Amino acid sequence: MKKFRKLLITVLLSAVTAVSSIPAMSVSGAEPETKLIALTFDDGPNTTTTNQVLDILEEYNAKASFFLIGTNINAESAVSVKRAYDMGMEIDNHSKTHSNMAAMSPEDIQAEIAYVDEKVIEITGEPTKFFRPPFIDTSQTMYDAIELPFICGIDCQDYMENVTAEERAQYILNGAKDGVIVLLHDAAGNSQTVEALKIAMPELAAQGYEFVTLTELFERQGETPKRNLLYSQVAKYPCADYELYQTLTSASADKVPLDAAVLEQLGENYAIEVSYNGTANPPVVALQKWSSTPSVWQAIQPFYSNGEKAVFLASDILPALEALDMTYTDLDGITISAYGGEIILSDAKILTKPESSGQIAGDVNQDGKFNLTDIITFQKWLLGSGKLADWKAADFTGDKILNIYDLILMKKALLS
């Protein structure tokens, strides 16, 4: 048995080495879901960095969104704006003066937006589509006065000179997931962000990401932008094929208790969905242990939220428990809770995935077993020879794209 295990490990490591340089491969006959990412750039336009960014985007046939500062638009920089627009980029609004607008009157706020719109219409014939608040500072007055959807994005700290191009690229790659919005800056002289794009974009492309404008991101994710929200991600509703398992009730409008034993029993096969309204952030799932020292209060953000409905996936809750070195039943309480401001929770429920068809993960040759033969078959397929009787059995990452990462996970599953 020891000799077989040693042989198995040797063969698997050889397989990983053999295909480590192979790019991701879409499955023949399948319709993989492309992962979408929206690159956005603040503080332009100019005749230098803006064009350098556009050169890279053009190389990858990528689309992006540019948030313009009105006072930066002049006869020379307008040429860069027109080039971006003609390439299919989206032109958006970052205010006239990049001032803190939270303390402004409604009239001054609207004047800041209108100035940029007028300039952009002169260049492109169209007004801006989205607004990013300067310094990401918002107020209810701003939400009421501005008709455009508000956009934030993951912070890559590319406005700080001491953050290197490699570090900026890592921020992009670490934050990448389907539907994410990336906040970058094409301000004049920001050459390190240009270099960061040269590092990050080929890696994102290899991982199967498609670079889209914000308008396309919302449309393809099936979402309509809502007021009073600041978007950093536009996730696709994840539970279209789930079934109702249990309806949850609570005596409180801002807190719904969850049964630890039920969640433990369901393992990875559940999602929690709740409707909400009010002037607040989306609710969170709160993991609590008040009988320990120090006490624990861990907040888990929803995988999906659209201003009315939030969804929490087991795949987000379980890693949080693992990081705490706890199980569900170790906790003193698990609740869906308000997270700042006033909120009303309703229609809370646990959903579960439909029963599987009996498919065995890793059994790519469909002989009813998952063993070394499947590893070798998959390796040959990645190298361009042989066939897979069941490609879904090899899709260990669940992204409908088969590559080295699936082989590594397949190897780990067999060894365990």
Q: Residue 107 in 3-state DSSP?
A: helix
- Catalytic, 178? Answer no
CB 250 within 8 A of CB 294: no
Q: What is the dihedral of CA 26, 27, 33, 39, to 10 degrees?
A: -10
Tell me the two tokens of residue 287. 């993991």
CB 370 within 8 A of CB 412: no
Q: What is the DSSP string of 216-254?
A: HHHHHTT----TT-EESB-PPPS-TT-EEEEE---S-SS
Catalytic residue among 185, 186, 363, 374: 185
Q: Residue 305 in 3-state DSSP?
A: strand
Report the distance separating Cα 95 and Cα 98, nearest Å.
6
CB atoms within 10 A of CB 86: 9
Which residues lie across from 298 on neighbouring strands? 287
The answer, yes or no, to whether the previous bond of 283 is cis (omega within 30 of 0) is no
Nearest to 91 by CA among 101, 80, 99, 100: 80
HSE-up of residue 89 (Cα within 13 Å, Cβ side): 29
| Distance from the first to the final alpha carbon of the chain | 14
Report the distance separating Cα 100 and Cα 17, nearest Å.
53
- Catalytic, 185? Answer yes
Positions annotated as catalytic residues are 42, 185
